[in-house]
Amino acid sequence: MCGIIGYSGHRPAVPLLVEGLHHLEYRGYDSSGVSFIQAGKLHVVKAAGRLSALEAKLAHEPVMISTCGIGHTRWATHGAPEERNAHPHLARGGSLAIVHNGIIENFQELRDELTASGCTFVSDTDTEVLACLIEEERKRASSLLEAFARALRRARGAYAVAMVAPEEPGTVYAARLSAPLLIGVGTGECFVASDVPAFLNYTRDVVFLEDGEIARIGRGGGSWELFRLDDLAPVSRATTRIAWDMQSACKDGYKHFMIKEIMEQPRVVAECMAGRVPADPARDVLDGVSLPELDGMDVPRRLRIVACGTSYNAGLWGARFLEKFGGIPVDVEIASEFRYRDPLLEEGEAVLAISQSGETADTLAALRLAKEKGRAALGLCNVVGSSIAREADAVLYTQAGPEISVASTKAMCSQMVVLLLLALYWGKRRGKKDDSALLTHLRGLPALLEGALPAMRETATHAARTYSGARSFFYLGRGPSYPLALEGALKLKELSYIHAEGYAAGEMKHGPIALIDPDFPTFALALRDEFFAKMVSNIEQVQARQGRVIVLTQPDSCGECGDLHADVLWMLPSCHSELASFLALPALQLFSYEVADYLGKDVDQPRNLAKSVTVE
């Protein structure tokens, strides 16, 4: 998704803008650009492709001493990913430049109107339309601030936008509606950005913009102001200090962020449990957590989970534990489907929106719909201060730290931990006795994972070499391993571009098994749980059709693998049967990682994908 950075302060702006854009690369992009004001003139430099292309162009620019500017990484929505469509976009009269993340839904209507009044456009973007609209409004407005607001009031859709104009050379204007944007407050300097890493080397003090607010930075040496979009009334807000530093957003010596994030899952599990799984068995799990009153009850009568992608798979996994341990009926829905139905939500039913970024447009819309329908809305997010976290009636944080790789890994692991704890928490409130054996094993999970990961990586590397030539893959699982099969398939396709499908193993015989042949391998999850024997039968059905199989399994109580035979018999350590998923998940992630790396793919930024999907 697009990344925005703006700066006003006492240092040369362009190097800061480019540095900030590098820290936003994880969001995915196909072109980039910067704009700054020098000697009273607006300069724009942009390039298609990687940031290095922009840097190469900037190297040929005359010395840039401007201390104010905006920058952007674009993830194409309107128009092809080429330089003409890259941001910043100029208003045709050259009076201002803007960068934008999101979609202006009524851009065609606005474009037709502006064309009729004489505007011409050089790009296919909705952003250029917005730039021209601001310029038009400036003819009627008494100030740049008012023109900016008047134009934005006419825009429908979602946006985060930043603007510079020679009329006010040291000032950056910015605004948000359903897309992330925040201010970084330094000493004598301010930033606006889509995310904290863009300016974290310079300040940890942050002001979160709310929907329908305008920010103005840089008037009077590093100052910042907020205004309401509708009436330009000033808004006061305190700064928030961000706890994590840039170190945690670096690769720690690993080749990619993804492998770093996979390997840090033992710590993620430990930190996710910190303060939530008390050592004292007399105290409750999630003790002190504050969840809203749910129609007078402290446990929902029913729960609807809404999420997308990996977070959806985590929700599907968590549903069976929320039912089993929490005693709550749970439905799990893809957020983009939920939001466009008129879902019937029962009295006492709560909605739980799961999202790593907390900015996924469909999940945010699903949460808002639940609130409109008067239901309690809970959030399960990783990014503190994100839109979902702020709009939910209550939020549980996964505490996984920044996830930079586009492919979600440690976030899912942490979502699973919190869902399991939530199930135990609600179960206790419904009078079910908590499973102290399970909690004891959960406390031991970080050490178990830590010990298992190096061998897992070796097996993954070996299996990846053998199977990277496959053109299609099945992933099969039952019970809690079914959502993991979906996740394994999602990871393989998004990273290595190999076609992969996840199936509930019992469904194979209803059609998909027709595809099995020696060139169509299967990755089967046969963990030591109540579904093991059934999985063994499903694996045999695949093998009877000459299908090659990788089996992810665990030894039986005698330390044996029993009757299981496979092309790759991948042994995970034994553990409490309810926790086996926490070992299987990194194995699936590692396999996809190693295949993609072996094939030379862009692991951290797979093609066509964005980290934070803030458009529908």
Tokens of 2: 């697009």
> Least distance to ligand M6R from the beta carbon of 305, Å?
12
Residues paired with residue 355 on neighbouring β-strands, in sequence order: 381
Residues binding ligand M6R (CB under 6 A): 308-311, 355-357, 360, 363, 406-408, 494, 609, 613
- Per-residue burial over 400-425, b if 16 or more Cβ lie within 10 Å, else e, is bbbbbbbbbbbbbbbbbbbbbbbbbb
> Least distance to ligand M6R from the beta carbon of 363, Å?
5
Q: Which residue is nearest to ligand M6R (CB)?
A: 309
Select 312 or 482, whichever has its Cβ closest to ligand M6R: 312
CA 616 to chain centroid, in Å, comes to: 14
Q: Which of 567, 488, 555 is nearest to 528 (CA)?
A: 555
Q: Which of 30, 34, 45 is nearest to 4 (CA)?
A: 34
Mapping DSSP to helix (H, G, I), strand (E, B) and coil, where does residue 147 land? Answer: helix
Indicate if 611 belongs to the active site. Answer: yes
> Least distance to ligand M6R from the beta carbon of 456, Å?
19
> Least distance to ligand M6R from the beta carbon of 144, Å?
35
Strand order in 377-381's β-sheet?
330-334, 302-307, 349-355, 377-381, 394-397
Select 194 or 310, whichever has its Cβ closest to ligand M6R: 310
> Least distance to ligand M6R from the beta carbon of 248, Å?
18
- Other CB atoms within 10 A of residue 41 CB: 11
Select 73 or 310, whichever has its Cβ closest to ligand M6R: 310
**Between β-strands 394-397 and 377-381, what pairing exists: parallel, antiparallel or unpaired?**
parallel
Mapping DSSP to helix (H, G, I), strand (E, B) and coil, where does residue 276 land? Answer: coil
Burial class (CB in 10 A: 0-12, 13-18, 19+), 321: buried
Tokens of 371: 């609130």
Which DSSP symbol is given to 63?
P
- Other CB atoms within 10 A of residue 187 CB: 12
Instruction: Please tell me the distance from the alpha carbon of residue 594 to that of residue 255, in angstroms, as a whole number.
Output: 11
Select 38 or 310, whichever has its Cβ closest to ligand M6R: 310
Tokens of 27: 């969001």
Residues paired with residue 74 on neighbouring β-strands, in sequence order: 31
Indicate if 432 belongs to the active site. Answer: no
Which DSSP symbol is given to 137?
H
Identify residue 408 by its one-letter amino acid code.
S
Select 67 or 356, whichever has its Cβ closest to ligand M6R: 356
Sign of CA dihedral 29, 32, 36, 41: negative
Select 491 or 576, whichever has its Cβ closest to ligand M6R: 491
Catalytic residue among 2, 119, 381, 413: 2
Mapping DSSP to helix (H, G, I), strand (E, B) and coil, where does residue 15 land? Answer: helix
> Least distance to ligand M6R from the beta carbon of 27, Å?
11
> Least distance to ligand M6R from the beta carbon of 590, Å?
14
Select 277 or 603, whichever has its Cβ closest to ligand M6R: 603
Catalytic residue among 410, 491, 493, 611: 611
**Tokens 């008494």 appear where?**
142
Select 104 or 383, whichever has its Cβ closest to ligand M6R: 383
> Least distance to ligand M6R from the beta carbon of 308, Å?
4
The enclosing H or E element of 480 equals none
- Other CB atoms within 10 A of residue 212 CB: 16
> Least distance to ligand M6R from the beta carbon of 254, Å?
18
Instruction: Please tell me the distance from the alpha carbon of residue 502 to that of residue 474, in angstroms, as a whole number.
Output: 6
Catalytic residues: 2, 611
